Every structure is written in structure tokens, then in C-alpha cells.
Amino acid sequence: MFSPLTVPFGCVMLYNVVKLKKGVAIEDVELALGEMCNVVKNTYGNDDGGFLGGQVFKFSGFVSAEGSVASESRADEHIAIVTYWNSYEQHEKSHADRIFKEKFTKLLDYANESYELGYEMLWQGGVEENLPLTNAA
């Protein structure tokens, strides 16, 4: 349940922002969110379904002054759901399925807005071991 992900090159990533209604806390949506994620993992997590893995993040209130050009007014209470799929078509097929829609609708009861953006991977990499550290002074 809380294991690291290995994301294969060439997969697609879907980034879903679920903006919560005023007064709704993360704890209020945990059950609906957990049920939805469990359905995705257990129903579409095979070659036919195409689901590779996912992550859920809660907005923690900080907005990077160094990496942002948007105003802080965009920083409403929300969760981010990041999922990885073999293909966009498989993602869309899963999300059109009745089983998924039932669970997602329950999550949306707590939201005033939700949108999901799709991305194709262009690059990935990590820290290479045994490289000398440099001080960028």
C-alpha cells in the first residue's frame, strides 16, 4: 500500500486536482478517496486495464516563490491524485466504467471543482550514485 513506485519510461501520467468545498477537511474525504483508489488498483491494475501506480498528495499550504508565477489565490484546499498508465486510452476506458464512476462521484460530493490533465513522459532520471558532490557557491 505504501511501497515505492517504479514508473516505466513511455507511460502517461494523469494529474487530477480535486478542490475541496469550503469547510471540508482531508479527513472528511479519506474514505471516499481510499475506496476510489482501491477500485482503480484492484480493477484496472493489469495489462488490460493499464494502471501502473499512483500517488495522492494533500496541499500543505506552501507556495514556492522561486518556482511560481501564479498568484497564491490558486492555493485553495485541494488534493492531487497522480496516476500512471500504459496509455491514455486505457485511462479513459477505466474512468468511463460504471465501477469507477460510482466511487469518483462519492469523492466529488466533497468537491467544488475537479480537473484532470494528461501528460506524456519526455524524460526521467534520478541521482546517480558515486558522483562527486559539488558546492555551487
User: Tell me, what's the pLDDT at 40?
Assistant: 96
- Percent of the chain predicted with pLDDT > 90: 66
The topology under which CATH files domain 18-62+73-120 is Alpha-Beta Plaits (3.30.70)
- Percent of the chain predicted with pLDDT > 70: 88
DSSP string covering 37-62, please?
HHHHHHHH-STTT-EEEEEEEE--S-
Q: Report the chain's C-alpha Rg in angstroms.
A: 17
Task: Provide the 10 A C-beta neighbour count for residue 45.
Answer: 15
Burial class of residue 18, CB neighbours in 10 A (0-12, 13-18, 19+): buried
What digits encode the pLDDT tens for the residues 62-81? Answer: 877 777 766 555 557 789 99
Contact 125, 13 (CB under 8 A): no
Do strands 78-85 and 51-58 pair parallel, antiparallel, or not at all (unpaired)? Answer: antiparallel
Long-range contacts of 131-136, Cβ-Cβ distance < 8 Å, separation of 24 or more:
none
Q: Domain segments of the chain: what residues?
A: 18-62+73-120
Give the pLDDT band of residue 4 (cuts 50, 70, 90).
confident
User: Tell me, what's the pLDDT at 41?
Assistant: 95
Residue 34 is inside which H or E element, if any? Answer: helix 26-44
Pick the closest to residue 79 from 124, 122, 126, 36 (CA basis): 36
What digits encode the pLDDT tens for the residues 9-65? Answer: 999 999 999 999 999 988 999 999 999 999 999 999 988 999 999 999 998 888 777
User: Residue 137: pLDDT above 60?
Assistant: no
DSSP string covering 79-115, please?
EEEEEEES-HHHHHHHHHSHHHHHHHHHHHTTEEEEE
